[in-house]
Amino acid sequence: MDEDLLTLDSLPGDEILELITLAKAIKTKPGDFADAMQGKTLAMIFQKPSLRTRVSFESGAIKMGGEAIYLSANEIQLGRGETIADTGRCLSRYVDMIMARVYEMADIEELAEGATVPVINGLSNFNHPCQTLSDMLTVSEKKGALKGLKFAFLGDCGNNTCHSWLMSAHKVGIQVACGFPKGYGPDEAALAKAKDFKLTNDPKEAIKGADVVYTDTWMSLHIPEAERKKRFSALKPYQVTNNLMSYAKKDAIFMHCLPAHRGEEMTADVIDGPQSVVFDQAENRMWMQNAIMLKLLGLR
């Protein structure tokens, strides 16, 4: 792997598969890795709060004998009291690794430029590499293999998770189909790094024959009420329902990176139904991130 994990567009397919293999080994026999991070400290910077990102990284580090320090953006004045690069330089004198969950991709890039220890992108506005690698672990578990699968992303396809899938799926032999209304498509910068994908405004066409069906929240907390109504109206035809799922393969799995809003991007009977693997997916954040940390630290 590179010195950092900021995006997936430069991560080769064979290294993705190596991470999946390692994550499975850690998950299967966690006791074998109980001391793998002994004496190592992870700093976790959060501009944007998160249940799954914080607990999965912190618990994962502890399970491997390491330590984790939570740092909110207000506590360290990220980008205000000093440059973000200087924050990276200082933290590198104290810790062995930095994970940051930020609003802007430029912030995580500047942090990595200043840091002399590995930096992990826990989320940015442009991409979400840890989520997608964890998703691939889940798909591998449920489907047995990745090559030859069809992955359908429905709804707002201009988001970070969809971008990460577009930039990496082809490396492991997965075809991506994005179904979205006009104005809600992927960023051109993500498409420029993508291969073997299809874009459509027809949700049925996107999901037809899919092995994996994926959606994400339509609404962020900062979106004003008037904009929320506009978004809901535009995205409603892309809501994942049992009827829409019937166009996918019979053994298709349903995925969502959470938090989910039942009655918006999908119906309750889909996310709580037999095809849903969302909570296995959430658990796998920890196992995959453990693999990522060990690889970046040169411990495996």
* Average pLDDT, 10 consecutive residues per value, the chain (300 residues): 93 98 98 98 94 97 98 80 92 98 96 98 97 98 98 97 98 98 97 97 98 94 80 97 98 98 97 98 98 98
DSSP 281: H
Query: Distance between CA 32 and CA 22 in Å, rounded?
Result: 12
* pLDDT recorded at residue 227: 87
* pLDDT recorded at residue 220: 73
Nearest to 10 by CA among 168, 131, 159: 168
Task: State pTM to two decimals.
Answer: 0.96
What are the catalytic residues? 101, 128, 131, 216, 257, 285
Backbone angles phi, psi at 100, to 5 degrees: -135, 135
Query: Distance between CA 274 and CA 251 in Å, rounded?
Result: 10
* pLDDT recorded at residue 221: 59
Query: Distance between CA 264 and CA 228 in Å, rounded?
Result: 11
Structure tokens that stand for 298 in this block: 């040169």
DSSP 51: H
Distance in Å from the first CA to the final CA of the chain: 11
* pLDDT recorded at residue 225: 80
Q: Report the DSSP beta bridge partners of residue 211.
A: none
| Four-point Cα dihedral 279, 282, 283, 288, nearest 10 | 140
Burial of 144 (0-12, 13-18, 19+ CB in 10 A): exposed
* pLDDT recorded at residue 226: 82
* pLDDT recorded at residue 78: 78
